[in-house]
Structure 1
């Protein structure tokens, strides 16, 4: 099924199908904030998202490079900001010394809340970190998207891909207490929503560019087959918590990352450009690191 995306063009919200190509006009369908979410929770499921786009008959043509075109995180409620970025840690098989047994009892992985949906950044936007990170780590991940209906029941919309940039150096100094601080770096997502079941195989490469040159490169995998935990057990357990079933809430749920630059001894620095090429799905997510300014002190 074609990917679905939403965007703002000349101050108006639109939706489209597929992934636009640079230099080629792409058809955008005018929608309202919440129109696609309503189609999802109205009983149609992920497959209803495509129909909701094409049912919008008012259209415009826009080019990917148009400065008035800005893509949005999938299904983001821009009016209410009733959205949450959260995720799991330590989920990949590469971080365990054995494979799980087929009938092994489920043990929930570590979990974190990273911020509001409005904190998400899109491709080519800078990702801001604290002023003096210890050791930054990019994390290419699958992000599942859920929308709660008016009764608080989560409805799965599909998946996209993200970069959960964080300060692993701070985490390692005090894993039991400082991980929430380590996660206080901005996160990026691709705007392309794949309205399909969570992917089993996702593969690609990360390239870190420094001053226009390639400074590091390595492969990654982040689909369900790469995980130690089963996706349905992770999500069922998480949504057993009432706080995550607030009516209308959109959840961006990151499934964790494989080993990458840190595990190879490479340090990401201020100004580096992180390019995540999700080769298996034809998607590229690139963002530049921007270390924030030091706090000037309390007033």
Structure 2
């Protein structure tokens, strides 16, 4: 089952099940979060909850909703402050070589490459522990709250101070914290973890800065078990032509950490277990256009696709006006 959140012709939020180009609207529910909390309260799976609520054929087709920009991120929170966006790096086979390649120009900083290789090796050696055991910690970063999320087919706002506006094609895990204070995985979605790789290239300690950008995920939420091997395509379009294209791999067969281990090392922190909160966690990638010396520009269009997740995730780039200038802080 694949779910979307969308706005109907009156601007009301709806949840729908994707069936080809048709959308089956879920009765009596206006958000995936509310649907998930109802499933938790009723002791049912998400699929069982949808069946219990019932569906009705929506009056509009899926293609029209996408083209009109009315498809939302597939899971969010009405208060953006209660949606945490985070991620892990160096989790996929090949991701260390991609990171090192991105830092090649900084050849004098051998510590950067050594730390990358060392953390990646920790994942290789201990990222897949036996059942019930805790494995090696992955790299972890904070990206922002729900206010940074850009809906599918809308533009990333690249800050005027940004040195790069680069894509990161990834899978995301989408979670809701139940009233019992436990995390529940709602499903998975395609993601584009938009970042500033030129800033990060200067020094790996700038990674925290480089991640404070928009992101997008969806348009569809895949419910159920994630296939162990997944192959998708990441493309950049410019002036109606493909500027760059490459396959990206995901799923546990292509990762040095198990999903269970990544999830544990996020949710082991009690501040991430606040009932009702939403968590969106990017699982990482080994495929970046910047590693092939691609420089994006305003107007470029990213496309992240994988057949198991339905429609592709597409976003363009715009430069955002400066929201703050040095010296603007006023003393009270």
TM-score, length basis structure 2? 0.79
Q: Which residue of 2 aligns with 1:50?
A: 50
Shift of 1:69: 6.8
CA distance change for structure 1 residues 19 and 72 in 2, over 3 Å: closer, same or farther? farther
Distance in 2 between residues matched to 1:174 and 1:163, nearest whole Å: 23
Matches within 5 A, 1:66-105: 70-78=70-78, 82-96=82-96, 99-100=124-125
Contact persistence 2:85–2:280 (CA under 8 A): yes
Deviates more, 1:214-223 or 1:246-255: 214-223
User: Is 2:155 aligned against 1:158?
Assistant: no
CA distance change for structure 1 residues 68 and 78 in 2, over 3 Å: closer, same or farther? farther
Shift of 1:106: 2.1
Q: Which residue of 2 aligns with 1:144?
A: 173
- Please give the secondary structure, in 1, of the residue aligned with 2:222: coil
Q: Which residue of 2 aligns with 1:63?
A: 61
Distance in 1 between residues matched to 2:259 and 2:143, nearest whole Å: 20
Q: Which residue of 2 aligns with 1:198?
A: 226
Contact persistence 2:227–2:251 (CA under 8 A): yes
Q: Which residue of 2 aligns with 1:174?
A: 203
Contact persistence 1:45–1:157 (CA under 8 A): no
1:120 counterpart (149, 153, 171): 149
Shift of 1:270: 2.1
Contact persistence 2:195–2:211 (CA under 8 A): yes
CA distance change for structure 1 residues 273 and 44 in 2, over 3 Å: closer, same or farther? same
CA distance change for structure 1 residues 185 and 260 in 2, over 3 Å: closer, same or farther? same
Q: Which residue of 2 aligns with 1:289?
A: 317
User: Is 2:293 aligned against 1:254?
Assistant: no
Distance in 2 between residues matched to 1:118 and 1:51, nearest whole Å: 32
Distance in 2 between residues matched to 1:19 and 1:179, nearest whole Å: 40
CA distance change for structure 1 residues 248 and 296 in 2, over 3 Å: closer, same or farther? closer
Q: Which residue of 2 aligns with 1:26?
A: 23
Structure that is richer in strand per residue:
1
CA distance change for structure 1 residues 284 and 186 in 2, over 3 Å: closer, same or farther? same
Contact persistence 2:187–2:221 (CA under 8 A): yes
Contact persistence 1:4–1:50 (CA under 8 A): no
The number of residues matched between the two structures is 292
Shift of 1:164: 0.2
User: Is 2:236 aligned against 1:239?
Assistant: no
Distance in 2 between residues matched to 1:80 and 1:219, nearest whole Å: 33
Distance in 2 between residues matched to 1:35 and 1:167, nearest whole Å: 34
Structure that is richer in helix per residue:
2
| Cα distance per residue 1:219-244 (max 9 Å; x no partner) | 11122221111110111121110111
Shift of 1:32: 3.4
- Please give the secondary structure, in 1, of the residue aligned with 2:224: coil
CA distance change for structure 1 residues 116 and 48 in 2, over 3 Å: closer, same or farther? farther
Distance in 2 between residues matched to 1:259 and 1:135, nearest whole Å: 16
CA distance change for structure 1 residues 83 and 221 in 2, over 3 Å: closer, same or farther? same
Distance in 1 between residues matched to 2:48 and 2:79, nearest whole Å: 22
5+ residue gaps, structure 1? none
User: Is 2:136 aligned against 1:107?
Assistant: yes
Q: Pairwise CA RMSD of aligned residues?
A: 2.5
CA distance change for structure 1 residues 188 and 249 in 2, over 3 Å: closer, same or farther? same
Distance in 1 between residues matched to 2:201 and 2:287, nearest whole Å: 15
TM-score, length basis structure 1? 0.87
